[in-house]
Structure 1
């Protein structure tokens, strides 16, 4: 089998495995086996760029940067739907339909209404060509690079698909993925996202498609639009879309009349809480496409479809008390403690009150009867107070002025909604939270030490900061609750092994506000060691690639604190890696600093990978696509004609690998 045949076979296999996993929810191989095949394909494509295919499964990992999203017109307008809130509204709608198509029996297709970001995806000859947001319905933003990273979206279709068509759907963020993203944000002291819908919509406009690829987005499709599609019913269209490889939920149903529509609505009004993603209603469509064409459109909506919106499930209960939680960064979160009540399939005992402004806005008081609903179908929230039921003697709520844990007077920074406890080094939850962050998997990953054990160590007086971990002795740990000799040995060994964790992860582990994994890597690579970083000022920091003023200020504030400096000096003494290991530092020079290169073609002196490494080792950056920001295109044999044309249009210098050698060695 020649190289092209191997590449073609791997692409077909990987596309099928993606379909099995993300559409059918029936994986046939392990994640590890999939990753091995993907790596094999990536290596072959890098060595043989002449076989480049923009529809390869390797595009799923992202990497393209979109600085400005081009606004493009929809070939077929995207209409919005009329909403109904009662079964009477649907009966009136059917009457209006029959005035146009006649007194005939009308069948309907019932589909769940997904709460996400609307998308229109164009396919030509079975290949994904463009993905565009709804926008104003007439035009939207081209987000093709980002949508290609969503693995439920087929890049290449199968079966008897039309030559060209648009398919519409919703980009969604399932609850499990949303919760995981919020946990990661909380871990670095950031504010969590408000709801899955807005987060999904915002993800489509991220400039770096590699970041989009990291988000667990999904795409549910429901409408095919185009000319000469040879489809007779909506129900048939849904099945055709499934056959071509699209993820079309199986919850849709053909209803012979409105009575069956009402049965569908009643069922899902109860069972929607069992779904892994948000749904806020049912979309009812006239099934026969001939009738759809007769019914046509109003100025805003199709006459042949109607959205039935579920009422947000609400319950009333009593507010028993308000407690205040202290986070790792000192942020105070007020929590409503409620009389337990069933809501959306779960027992709710607590709800977030967010901040002092929210409490004042609701004028909520202890003993009030309050109305609770699930915000975004996931987080319980209090939406109103039943003032008619209020005890006339109820006192207005006074927001706490001192930390509930250490009694330090709270502060509120101008322009921020939260109050903070400034006792960064003496407030127990903040101390425990920082140590828990330090030992977490993405940071020091200390085996044998978990979050509960950190709390035990702190409460026993054995640790008061993360440097103290490196002085722990087995004999000190054994007396702790649930600790045996073997557990104590594993903990001490895990701490010792963490001294081999590389600098960039140690920097992330320190818990500097706004310094997540990616920022820590950037700073570690730029400054090489902790001392150089500690001595950097705000101006120097913002000149580092992708470091903004907020991050720079946070870094400077961290190193201005003498207690932090003392802890870092102790970590040095214990042997923790606080500089880049020379054997891992591949930097040769900064001759290419600030320059962006795009590599295209086949080379003789370098392999493509070696060429990219040489660029980065000399301070340059490798771009994935040509733009006005590109400084040079390094061209080999068989350079892609589209890249050549774009480079010429933008008047970007095209150099050979020999020219590149002179740049770094001359």
Structure 2
């Protein structure tokens, strides 16, 4: 029955008004469910709007009848000043990853090894939505809290924003809804909605959204729910958590999905139970074949053991379950035209050609630039300005040109040549015979190199100075406030306050971040200096060997070459860097004057190095520490850390995602440790 939507005036009888409001709510919620969850509307928009408007009018006339779960109350919270932290009762786990059917089979083999004889797992497969993981908590069937995943243990309360998503029911339906249940899923921005929003934003002169995932994440973190309500968001639910007692008495994940659907929650129609690994492999390929036709971005498929009792046997490692894995698809490709080639200058003066492209949508992002790496790559591709090229996003992140369509080359296509002078400072560009990369020889008189040096110094894997981004670095250099990294620590609130879009609070936050960055590790400090050829891994190895700045400054070429994984080229780069008095002075100033410091571990006598003579290999993902920190710990105990498994390997540390290296270790009978066992070994 549809409520009478055309009535004028309000019922004089309060009881009649209550009955009509309840009927209207039921009807509006029914049609919201048909439209946003089932994608099967029963009414034209005009008739739905009439129902909704009637409900709004009745509730305005009878405010005592308004309830929190009314569809009119999706937007109502006042703008917040910040987001409140929320602790998840059950951690929201991340997933191990694989990129081939062989790696998927290796995962199943590991699972079977942990199960009892006679256990026959079947599986549940679903798309891996490229969105934002959220947790919904319902009590007495009403939505009472929504939170982001955060770090898996602690997220942010986004209840007011999630209430604006019409695919999320404010009240669950059905008779078997538990008193309390946590539902987990992925909030995403449909591709059609993403395109419509950007068309509108462009017409209005507003800022467009970079890609659907960023759009979803940014929309959920709006302090004003009214802004979120304007964004085209939706949600698929994929699991339940636990609150108090187990929220569902179902024994299988597939049954839980049916329960969620019955409660009015949106479940992906591509979620399917599979009887065998072979069926899972077929599913992965079928989903990939229809990927381009979906109205949401996916970057793979998720495969889960369906039976909860088998999941309990398999357990988890650190923050990843053993009973599930994400199958990642190859990067997407698209064709477009090269409109020009620019040359960018890096931290060490490296000149990188960058293709300027006619904008093309690939991998969920509109791409207009793609790296060409170096002139050898330009020549290998035989790339000309005007060419039609294929572009893909490497790791679905960095756009790269993979192929030139020579048959489409226009007659006026222009060859690409390396410029003779730096496009930023005008210094000569040099290319040495033993290097692929050409470089500006302007050094730190080149503003591009100074900027990139500051960017590197502040980056996440170096000193990790939060809030020091590109635009601010440009302003600091342009105003003459900084010239090198040490100058950052001499900035004052007054100086920062005079910069564009830098209020008092932002200035205080940056100064606090600079102060925090003074407490670091020696490995991060070495990496932050920006020595050529010295990345995170090498910095960690060098830090473990020398431990103090004085020792590193005095290290001779022969001594450096004795360090594991530091060959003659890297050793020469380090000696060359510190032979420059400006670099040497900067390092001392940062440590001794500015006060950037780190804990110096106690020196271990050579005869007491417990892992001396052993060769270890690290593979997969580590959660408790970075790969470089793990390597530093091992080398500090005397071990050699190798990049491949051989008969000379002593131990393999295999985190989630370990593939061929783990398989090779098993074939050779080499000891394999998971992360928990590795940490215990280090502690012992």
The count of aligned residue pairs is 385
Residues 1:395 and 2:395 are matched in the alignment: no
Match of 1:304 in 2: 323
Structure 1: how far apart are the matches of 2:24 and 2:361?
50
Structure 2: how far apart are the matches of 1:28 and 1:399?
64
In structure 2, the CA distance between the partners of 1:361 and 1:166, relative to structure 1 (3 Å rule), is: farther
**1:273 Cα shift?**
0.8
Match of 2:209 in 1: 193
Match of 2:277 in 1: 258
Question: Any conservation in 2 of the 1:369–1:385 contact (CA below 8 Å)?
Answer: no
Match of 2:230 in 1: 214
In structure 2, the CA distance between the partners of 1:82 and 1:344, relative to structure 1 (3 Å rule), is: closer
Match of 2:219 in 1: 203
1:525-561 alpha-carbon deviations (Å, 9 max, x no partner): xxxxxxxxxxxxxxxxxxxxxxx979xxxxxxxxxxx
Residues 1:165 and 2:187 are matched in the alignment: no
Match of 1:383 in 2: 400
Secondary structure of residue in 2 paired with 1:2:
helix
5+ long unaligned stretches in structure 1:
325-332, 402-413, 416-547, 551-666
Match of 1:44 in 2: 58
Match of 1:614 in 2: none
**1:218 Cα shift?**
0.3
Secondary structure of residue in 2 paired with 1:197:
helix
In structure 2, the CA distance between the partners of 1:153 and 1:375, relative to structure 1 (3 Å rule), is: farther
Question: Any conservation in 2 of the 1:7–1:41 contact (CA below 8 Å)?
Answer: yes
In structure 2, the CA distance between the partners of 1:174 and 1:62, relative to structure 1 (3 Å rule), is: farther
Structure 2: how far apart are the matches of 1:394 and 1:549?
39
**1:253 Cα shift?**
1.2
Match of 1:175 in 2: 191
Match of 1:637 in 2: none
**1:336 Cα shift?**
2.9
Secondary structure of residue in 2 paired with 1:269:
helix
Match of 1:269 in 2: 288
Question: Any conservation in 1 of the 2:173–2:262 contact (CA below 8 Å)?
Answer: yes
In structure 2, the CA distance between the partners of 1:6 and 1:277, relative to structure 1 (3 Å rule), is: same
Structure 1: how far apart are the matches of 2:60 and 2:361?
56
Structure 1: how far apart are the matches of 2:416 and 2:220?
47
Match of 1:124 in 2: 139
Residues 1:239 and 2:258 are matched in the alignment: yes
Structure 1: how far apart are the matches of 2:402 and 2:249?
55
Structure 2: how far apart are the matches of 1:271 and 1:376?
20
- Among 330, 336, 350, the alignment partner of 2:357 is 336
Question: Any conservation in 1 of the 2:372–2:400 contact (CA below 8 Å)?
Answer: no
Secondary structure of residue in 1 paired with 2:127:
strand
**1:254 Cα shift?**
1.0
Question: Any conservation in 2 of the 1:195–1:375 contact (CA below 8 Å)?
Answer: no
Question: Any conservation in 1 of the 2:129–2:186 contact (CA below 8 Å)?
Answer: yes
Secondary structure of residue in 1 paired with 2:320:
coil
1:318-363 alpha-carbon deviations (Å, 9 max, x no partner): 9665499xxxxxxxx995369xx99899xxxx96238xxx789999
Instruction: Say which is worse superposed, 223-232 or 302-311, in terms of deviation.
Output: 223-232
Correspondence list, 1:598-617, <5 A: none
Structure 1: how far apart are the matches of 2:414 and 2:34?
61
Match of 1:113 in 2: 128
Question: Any conservation in 1 of the 2:331–2:395 contact (CA below 8 Å)?
Answer: no
1:446-498 alpha-carbon deviations (Å, 9 max, x no partner): xxxxxxxxxxxxxxxxxxxxxxxxxxxxxxxxxxxxxxxxxxxxxxxxxxxxx
Question: Any conservation in 1 of the 2:122–2:275 contact (CA below 8 Å)?
Answer: yes
Structure 1: how far apart are the matches of 2:362 and 2:139?
46
Match of 1:60 in 2: 74
Match of 1:2 in 2: 16
**1:247 Cα shift?**
0.5
Secondary structure of residue in 1 paired with 2:104:
helix
Residues 1:313 and 2:329 are matched in the alignment: no
TM-score (norm. length: structure 2): 0.51
Match of 2:162 in 1: 147
Residues 1:89 and 2:103 are matched in the alignment: yes
TM-score (norm. length: structure 1): 0.52
Question: Any conservation in 1 of the 2:302–2:327 contact (CA below 8 Å)?
Answer: yes
Structure 1: how far apart are the matches of 2:291 and 2:38?
20
**1:230 Cα shift?**
0.5
- Among 33, 46, 52, the alignment partner of 1:32 is 46
Structure 1: how far apart are the matches of 2:97 and 2:39?
32
Question: Any conservation in 2 of the 1:319–1:366 contact (CA below 8 Å)?
Answer: no
Structure 2: how far apart are the matches of 1:3 and 1:298?
56
Structure 2: how far apart are the matches of 1:149 and 1:342?
28
Match of 1:21 in 2: 35
Match of 2:431 in 1: none
Secondary structure of residue in 2 paired with 1:246:
coil
Instruction: Say which is worse superposed, 236-245 or 190-199, in terms of deviation.
Output: 190-199
**1:61 Cα shift?**
4.1
In structure 2, the CA distance between the partners of 1:210 and 1:351, relative to structure 1 (3 Å rule), is: closer
Question: Any conservation in 1 of the 2:80–2:224 contact (CA below 8 Å)?
Answer: yes
Question: Any conservation in 2 of the 1:321–1:366 contact (CA below 8 Å)?
Answer: no
**1:258 Cα shift?**
0.2
In structure 2, the CA distance between the partners of 1:259 and 1:187, relative to structure 1 (3 Å rule), is: same
Structure 1: how far apart are the matches of 2:108 and 2:398?
36
Match of 1:279 in 2: 298
Structure 1: how far apart are the matches of 2:264 and 2:336?
50
In structure 2, the CA distance between the partners of 1:232 and 1:187, relative to structure 1 (3 Å rule), is: same
**1:52 Cα shift?**
2.6
Structure 1: how far apart are the matches of 2:110 and 2:388?
43
RMSD value, Cα: 3.9
Match of 1:290 in 2: 309
Secondary structure of residue in 2 paired with 1:372:
strand
In structure 2, the CA distance between the partners of 1:208 and 1:254, relative to structure 1 (3 Å rule), is: same
Structure 2: how far apart are the matches of 1:189 and 1:360?
34
Correspondence list, 1:422-441, <5 A: none
Structure 2: how far apart are the matches of 1:225 and 1:259?
29
Question: Any conservation in 2 of the 1:72–1:140 contact (CA below 8 Å)?
Answer: yes
Structure 1: how far apart are the matches of 2:263 and 2:422?
57
